[in-house]
C-alpha cells in the first residue's frame, strides 16, 4: 500500500526540504502554504512537491497540521523562476521562496486563505458632500474621510475605530464597497505624440511581441523614455506589462505619469511602503490577471503574472536593483531570465547603462536603441569644470559657484547643489593631536548631525552626543571635516538670506507625504535653492531648475572599488540631467581637483559611449567583469582571525579546477561593521557555467564546515568587493 507525502520547505538557512504526511481530508498541491510541526513549535512552510511512498515510510513522518491556501499562492512559472534563483545564487530554496512572498503571507498567524480578498470602500456622491458636516474635533473621522477622498480604502488597513465609523457610514450610504460600484476615474489624457527618434524606438519594440527580445534603450535624460513606455503599454494591452523602477519614490512618480493615460483599475503599484492590506489586494489583482500595468521595485519581479507580455526595467544601471541581504540577487538580471522563459520582450532603459548591459549590446546580445537627444526641442546642459586648486572653497563652494547661484536667483530660476553626503560633516577632528570621532562598532568615522547635536554612524545606527572637547588631549577647538547637506544648507541660508532653501536627503524626506509636499513646493516655485543627495538625481522633472552644482565628487575617486568611476559618472550625469529640462538652457558646474580626469572630460562632452569604451578597456586588461564572472564568499565573526580562518578552511575544503581562479582570504574593505569582523574570499572564472558548477559543489562543502559563531554567505555577481 502507498500513501502520499509532501516535500515542504521552511524559511530556514539550510538547503533541505522536509517530508510530511498528508491527511486524507487535505487538498495539498505544490505552491500552497501549510502549517507544520517542527521541533517543539509549528512553522509556516510551502509545498514543493507531492509524491507517493510506502505506508511504512509515511508512518515515521509527522502530519501537516493545516493547509492555509485552497489554490497555489505562487504559480508554476514563479516556482520555476524561484528555483532558478535558488540554484544560481546558491541560497536555500525555502528562504528564497519566502523572499518572493509579500510580508503578510510569510506570517504563521495568517489563518485565512491567500485567495480571500479584503473589501474595498469608496465614497459615494453623497459621502463626497459630507466634509463640512464632520465635527471638527472628530480627528479619526476627518482623517478617514480624507483617505477615502484620495482613493479606495481596504478593510484590512482599518483599525477598530475606523471599522466602526465605516459600519455607520455604510448604513448612511456615505460609502460603498468596490463590488457595488467601481471608483470613477478622472478624465484620461490622450498619449503625447512621439517624435521621429521616439517613434523608431517604439516601432522596433512593438514588432517583437510574443518573442524574447532584450533591448537596451540608451536614452539621455529628458529624451522622453516615459512617453515611449506609455505607448508600449497601450500597444501591449490587454497583455500584462511589468515596469520595474529602482526606488519607491520613482514608483510613485511613474504611477502619477501613467495614470494620466490609463484608468485606475488598469494599474497597480507594488512596493514595501504601501499599506499591507492594499499591497496584498493589488498583488492578488495582478496575480489573477485583473490588472494590465504593474509598477514595482525589485521585489515585484517575483509577482505571479499569468498574461505577462512585456517587461520594462527603468534606470537599469541602478544599484538599488541589487538585494544586499538574504537572497542576494539582481532584479534586472532575474527580469531578463523571466522574459526569456516567458518568451516576451524586455526593455532595459537608462541614460547611463550598466557596463555589463553596454557590453551585451556591443557584442549583439541585446538590441541597441539610441535616444541621444532631448525631446520637445530641449537641449542638454553645458558642463563647466571648476579647478579647486585654483578656485578655493573654504565654505564648500567656490566664489564662481556662488555667483552662478546668485545669477539664477536674480532671474528667478532654481539651483540644485548636489553633495552625496547627508549630515553636517563626514567627520569631527582635533587638529592638535589628530584624533577623529570613530564608531565603536564599525571601522568608519562618525558623521556630525548638528540638528540634534549628535555624532552618528550611517552603517550601524550607533549615535552619541557631540564632543565638546577632544577626549585624547582636551583641546576645545574641534573642527568638522568635509561638507554634508546640513552644512551646505546652513551656509547657503547665511550667504543668500532672501532665498528659500530646501534640503532633500534621507533625514528630511521621510515618508511619502513629506516627499510629495517637497516636490509640490519645487514645482510651484516655492523653492529657490535645493541641497540634496543622489535621491533627487533620478527621474525628476523640475522645469524651472537651470543650474546643478556638484560638490565633493572627487571623494569617490579614492575608493578601491573598481566600479566606483562607473557609478560616479552615472550619478553626475543623472543629477546634471535635472538642469534645463524645459525650454530654458541648463548648466552643470563641477568642483574638482582633477579637471583633466577622463571621467570629467567625458561628462563635459556628454560622451557616455566614449567613457564606457575606456572603462571596458581597463576592465579587460585588469580581468574584471564583464570579461570574467565572480563570486565572493563573505564571512563575519566576533574576531578577524576566526573569520579569516573559516574562509581559509573553505578554500581548502574543495580543490579549484583549472578554470577557476581562487584568491586568498582578506579583510573586507570595511573590516568591522555592527560589532563584527568581516572578511572575504574571491573566486572568478571566464566561464559562467564552469563557475556555477564549481559553486554548486563548493557550497555543499561549506555547509558542512564548523561555524564557531561565523556567519557566511555567497555573493554571486557581486555589486562590489
**Model confidence over 545-600: pLDDT tens digits?**
999 999 999 988 888 889 999 999 999 999 988 887 667 788 999 999 999 999 99
Secondary structure of residue 282 in the 3-state scheme: helix
Q: Are 241 and 309 in contact (CB under 8 A)?
A: yes
pLDDT tens digits, residue range 116-159? 455 778 888 777 777 667 776 777 787 787 777 766 777 666 77
HEC readout, 145-210: HHHHHHCCEEHHHCCHHHHHHHHHHHHHCCEEECCCCCCCCCCCCCCCCCCHHHHHHHHHHHCCCC
Residue 204 backbone phi and psi in degrees, to 5: -65, -35
The pTM score is 0.88
Cα–Cα dist 558/577, whole Å? 25
Q: List b or e across 426-439, with b for residues whose CB sees 16 or more CB atoms inside 10 angstroms.
A: bbbbbeeeebebeb
What class, spelled out in words, does domain 629-716 have in CATH? alpha beta
Cα–Cα dist 291/627, whole Å? 40
DSSP string, 212-252: --EEEEEE-TTS-HHHHHHHHHHHHTTSEEEEE-SSHHHHH
Tell me what pLDDT residue 279 has: 86
* Model confidence at 179: pLDDT above 70: no
User: Residue for cell digits 555589486?
Assistant: 719
* Element spanning 544, H or E: none
Cα–Cα dist 382/386, whole Å? 13
CATH hierarchy code of domain 2-106: 3.40.1440.60
Tell me what pLDDT residue 671 has: 95
User: Residue for cell digits 513549535?
Assistant: 41
248 closest CA partner among 270, 264, 231: 270
**pLDDT band with cut points at 50, 70 and 90 for residue 180:** very low
**Of the CATH numbers 3.30.200.20, 3.40.50.261, 2.30.42.10, 3.40.50.300, which one belongs to the domain with range 382-425+482-618?**
3.40.50.300
Which residues neighbour 136 within 8 Å (Cβ) at sequence distance 6 or greater?
142
Strands 676-685 and 661-662: antiparallel
> What distances in angstroms separate CA 138 from CA 141, 142, 163, 170, 330, one per listed residue?
5, 6, 15, 18, 47
**Of the CATH numbers 3.40.190.10, 3.90.320.10, 3.40.50.720, 3.40.50.300, which one belongs to the domain with range 196-371?**
3.40.50.300
Q: What percentage of the chain exceeds 90 in pLDDT? A: 65
Strand ranges across the sheet with 587-592:
382-387, 587-592, 545-550, 414-418, 529-532, 501-504
pLDDT tens digits, residue range 370-400? 998 888 777 889 999 999 999 998 899 999 9
Tell me what pLDDT residue 513 has: 57
**Biggest CA-to-CA distance, the chain:** 90
Tell me what pLDDT residue 340 has: 97
328 closest CA partner among 564, 677, 86: 86
Amino acid at each position: 500500500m502507498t500513501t502520499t507525502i509532501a516535500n515542504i520547505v521552511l524559511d530556514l538557512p539550510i538547503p533541505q526540504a522536509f517530508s510530511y504526511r498528508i491527511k486524507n481530508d487535505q487538498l495539498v498541491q505544490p505552491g500552497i502554504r501549510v502549517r507544520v510541526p517542527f521541533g517543539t513549535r509549528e512553522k509556516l512552510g510551502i509545498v514543493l512537491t507531492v509524491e507517493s511512498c510506502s505506508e511504512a515510510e509515511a508512518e515515521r513522518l509527522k502530519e501537516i497540521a493545516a493547509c492555509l491556501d485552497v489554490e497555489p499562492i505562487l504559480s508554476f512559472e514563479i516556482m520555476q523562476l524561484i528555483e532558478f534563483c535558488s540554484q544560481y545564487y546558491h541560497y536555500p530554496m525555502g528562504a528564497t521562496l519566502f523572499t518572493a512572498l509579500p510580508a503578510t503571507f510569510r506570517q504563521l498567524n495568517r489563518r485565512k486563505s491567500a485567495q480571500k480578498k479584503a473589501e474595498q470602500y469608496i465614497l459615494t456622491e453623497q459621502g463626497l458632500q459630507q466634509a463640512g458636516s464632520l465635527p471638527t474635533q472628530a480627528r479619526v473621522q476627518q482623517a478617514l474621510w480624507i483617505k477615502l477622498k484620495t482613493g479606495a480604502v481596504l478593510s484590512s488597513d482599518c483599525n477598530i475605530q475606523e471599522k466602526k465609523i465605516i459600519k455607520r457610514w455604510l448604513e448612511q450610504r456615505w460609502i460603498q464597497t468596490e463590488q457595488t460600484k467601481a471608483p470613477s476615474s478622472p478624465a484620461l489624457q490622450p498619449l503625447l505624440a512621439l517624435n521621429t527618434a521616439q517613434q523608431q524606438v517604439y516601432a522596433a519594440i512593438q514588432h517583437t511581441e510574443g518573442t524574447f527580445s532584450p533591448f537596451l534603450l540608451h536614452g539621455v535624460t529628458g529624451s522622453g523614455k516615459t512617453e515611449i513606455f506609455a505607448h508600449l503599454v497601450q500597444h501591449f494591452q490587454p497583455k500584462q506589462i511589468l515596469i520595474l523602477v529602482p526606488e519607491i519614490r520613482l514608483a510613485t512618480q511613474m504611477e502619477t505619469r501613467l495614470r494620466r493615460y490609463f484608468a485606475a483599475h488598469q494599474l497597480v503599484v507594488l512596493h514595501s511602503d504601501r499599506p499591507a492590506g492594499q499591497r496584498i489586494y493589488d498583488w492578488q489583482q495582478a496575480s489573477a490577471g485583473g490588472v494590465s500595468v504593474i509598477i514595482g521595485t525589485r521585489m515585484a519581479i517575483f509577482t505571479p503574472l499569468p498574461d505577462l507580455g512585456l517587461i520594462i526595467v527603468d534606470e537599469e544601471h541602478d544599484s538599488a536593483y541589487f538585494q544586499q541581504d538574504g537572497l542576494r540577487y539582481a532584479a534586472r538580471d532575474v527580469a531578463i531570465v523571466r522574459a526569456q522563459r516567458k518568451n516576451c520582450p524586455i526593455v532595459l532603459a537608462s541614460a547611463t547603462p550598466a557596463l555589463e548591459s553596454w557590453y551585451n549590446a556591443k557584442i549583439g546580445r541585446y538590441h541597441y536603441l539610441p535616444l541621444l537627444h532631448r525631446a520637445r526641442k530641449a537641449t542638454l546642459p553645458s558642463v563647466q569644470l571648476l579647478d579647486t586648486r585654483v578656485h578655493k572653497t573654504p565654505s564648500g563652494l567656490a566664489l564662481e559657484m556662488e555667483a552662478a547661484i546668485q545669477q539664477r536667483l536674480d532671474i528667478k530660476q532654481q539651483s540644485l547643489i548636489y553633495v552625496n553626503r547627508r549630515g553636517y560633516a563626514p567627520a569631527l577632528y582635533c587638529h592638535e593631536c589628530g584624533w577623529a570621532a570613530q564608531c565603536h562598532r564599525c571601522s568608519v568615522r562618525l558623521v556630525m548631525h548638528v540638528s540634534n547635536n549628535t555624532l552618528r554612524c550611517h552603517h550601524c545606527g550607533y549615535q552619541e552626543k557631540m564632543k565638546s572637547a577632544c577626549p585624547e588631549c582636551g583641546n576645545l577647538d574641534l573642527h568638522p571635516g568635509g561638507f554634508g547637506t546640513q552644512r551646505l544648507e546652513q551656509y547657503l541660508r547665511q550667504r543668500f538670506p532672501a532665498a528659500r532653501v530646501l534640503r532633500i536627503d534621507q533625514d528630511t524626506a521621510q515618508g511619502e507625504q513629506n516627499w510629495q509636499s517637497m516636490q509640490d513646493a519645487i514645482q510651484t516655485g516655492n523653492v529657490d535653492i535645493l541641497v540634496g543627495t543622489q535621491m533627487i538625481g533620478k527621474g525628476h522633472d523640475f522645469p524651472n531648475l537651470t543650474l546643478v552644482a556638484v560638490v565633493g565628487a572627487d571623494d569617490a575617486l579614492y575608493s578601491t572599488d573598481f566600479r566606483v568611476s562607473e557609478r560616479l559618472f552615472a550619478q553626475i550625469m543623472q543629477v546634471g540631467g535635472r538642469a534645463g529640462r524645459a525650454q530654458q538652457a541648463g548648466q552643470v558646474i563641477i568642483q574638482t581637483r582633477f579637471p583633466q580626469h577622463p571621467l570629467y572630460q567625458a561628462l563635459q562632452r556628454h560622451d557616455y559611449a566614449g567613457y564606457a569604451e575606456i572603462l571596458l578597456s581597463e576592465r579587460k586588461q585588469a580581468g574584471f567583469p564583464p570579461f570574467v564572472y565572480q563570486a565572493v564568499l563573505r564571512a563575519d565573526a566576533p574576531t578577524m582571525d576566526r573569520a579569516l580562518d573559516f574562509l581559509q578552511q573553505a578554500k581548502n575544503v574543495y580543490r579549484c579546477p583549472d578554470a577557476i581562479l581562487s584568491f586568498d582570504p582578506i579583510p573586507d574593505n570595511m573590516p568591522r561593521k555592527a560589532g563584527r569582523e568581516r572578511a572575504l574570499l574571491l573566486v572568478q572564472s571566464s566561464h559562467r557555467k564552469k563557475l556555477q558548477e564549481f559553486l554548486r559543489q563548493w557550497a555543499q562543502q561549506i555547509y558542512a564546515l564548523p561555524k564557531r559563531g561565523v556567519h557566511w554567505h555567497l555573493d554571486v555577481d557581486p555589486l562590489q568587493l
